[in-house]
Amino acid sequence: MKIATRYLVRRMRIADIPQVLEIERESFPSMWPPTAFRRELQQNRLAHYIVIGERNPDAPGADEFDDDDLELGPIGRFLGEIRHILAGDDPVHLPAPDERPELIVGFVGVWMLPDEAHIVTIAVRESHRRRGIGEMLLIAAIDLAREKVQSLVTLEVRVSNAAAIRLYEKYGFEEVGLRPRYYSDNREDAYILTAGGITSRAYTERLDALREDHSERFGEFDSLGGGWHG
């Protein structure tokens, strides 16, 4: 089945690591060391990562790009480049963004803890911001938490990030605490935000309405496989 929509929301795969590291370095330039995504995907049973990929129909071999197996076809050429990072997540050379059959444009990480789903990171490629991708990542994280039957989602946000705070409030997040000097780059405080009752009927109706509004503003974001099992 060929991809018909522009954006595909799916589980993160090993082959995505080089592109995800690009986004992480761009979004969090002072972060060191970088996230060990290979270890997160292969060894951390609590961790779940979702990416949004943008299909490029003009890239070489794009007509072979199939959403039934994203690690075959043209994506396969990336695998040879990353085989030498089996012991870590070292950056590798990648084709220019406009030469990739699929460009990863954002990712979100969620840890499924005993009593909550905790969003540990969310980032969007700089060239694709203000296109609804960050909001779609948040929706995907909430969908994942609901599928895992978690009724509470938590996260931290910089106290100065007014735009992100407004987005989270739209999805029912409320301030429940403060982490002083939480961010290592400038020692900025972080608000602790939570959204409760996300499996309730009332929240389901709210989420459905917000999802429909997002679709009307930004278009459809396809979900590979229709769920987040695994």
Each residue's pLDDT tens digit, 161-217: 999 999 999 999 999 999 999 998 899 999 999 999 999 999 999 999 999 999 999
pTM of the model: 0.84
Q: Which of 143, 133, 115, 128 is nearest to 48 (CA)?
A: 143
- pLDDT for the residue numbered 51: 97
Helix (H/G/I), strand (E/B), else coil: 9:
strand
Looking at the domain 7-220, which fold is it?
A: Aminopeptidase (3.40.630)
- pLDDT for the residue numbered 75: 42
- pLDDT for the residue numbered 66: 56
Q: How far apart are the first and last CA of the chain?
A: 21
- The residues that bridge with 50 in the sheet, in sequence order, are 11, 108
Q: Are 40 and 104 in contact (CB under 8 A)?
A: no
**Burial group, residue 181, by CB count within 10 angstroms (0-12, 13-18, 19+):** exposed
Q: Which of 165, 163, 197 is nearest to 178 (CA)?
A: 165
pLDDT at residue 90 is higher than 70 = no
| Distance separating alpha carbons of residues 70 and 62, to the nearest angstrom | 12
Hey, where are the domains in the chain?
7-220
- pLDDT for the residue numbered 96: 83
- pLDDT for the residue numbered 113: 97
- pLDDT for the residue numbered 133: 97
Least confident of 67-71, 122-126, 154-158: 67-71
**Burial group, residue 38, by CB count within 10 angstroms (0-12, 13-18, 19+):** middle
